[in-house]
Amino acid sequence: MKFYEVVEQVHALLQRQGRVSYRALKREFGLDDDYVEDLKAELIEVQRIAADEDGKVLVWIGEGVGKDERVVAPPPSILPLLMRRLDKVVQEINEIRELADTEESRSVTMTTEERTGNGEKEKRR
């Protein structure tokens, strides 16, 4: 199998699986260490679709990013922290939406009262 045929197959595998160990790639495709290094260079540096994690795992990061952007997969130990922060941000966004909906509802009620002549003006009469 030619080099870019292996690259395409690893690309598809990585996209499906999300993470693949270098040992699994060696076993699956019968690769030696030099071949794996060439494969890493192609997928990480050239195509920018993967990142190296601890020199043991190839991690899918998506289709290529801009040439000035450098993407590094976060270490697994930080993922729970990132997920908690993301949950908090989503909760804050939902609270803001609820507040905005409440304010919009009040605004519509006031406008309706002004149009119909009800509300504060009526009470004063």
Q: For residue range 26-70, what is the model confidence (pLDDT) as tens digits?
A: 999 999 999 999 999 999 999 989 999 989 999 998 875 555 555
- What pLDDT score was predicted for residue 73? 61
Cα separation of 120 and 125, whole Å? 9
Residue-number span of the structural domain to which 119 is assigned: 76-124
C-beta of residue 29 within 8 angstroms of C-beta of residue 9: yes
Q: Would you say residue 74 has pLDDT above 70?
A: no
Question: 17 lies in a domain?
Answer: yes
**Inter-CA distances, 61 with 1, 46, 50, 82, 103, Å:** 26, 13, 5, 16, 40
Question: 8 lies in a domain?
Answer: yes
The better pLDDT of the pair 69, 4 is held by: 4
Question: 67 lies in a domain?
Answer: no
Q: At 122, is the pLDDT very low, low, confident or very high (cuts 50, 70, 90)?
A: very low
- What pLDDT score was predicted for residue 64? 56
Side chain identity, residue 41: A
Q: Would you say residue 100 has pLDDT above 80?
A: yes
Q: At 116, is the pLDDT very low, low, confident or very high (cuts 50, 70, 90)?
A: low
The better pLDDT of the pair 73, 56 is held by: 56
Pair (81, 120) in one structural domain: yes
Pair (8, 50) in one structural domain: yes
CA atoms within 13 A on the CB side of 111: 6
Question: 71 lies in a domain?
Answer: no
Number of domains into which the chain is organized: 2
Look over the chain and give the mean of its residue pLDDT values, rounded to a whole number.
Answer: 81
Pair (52, 100) in one structural domain: no
- pTM for the predicted model, two decimal places: 0.51
Scan for tokens 């794996």, then name that residue. Answer: 36
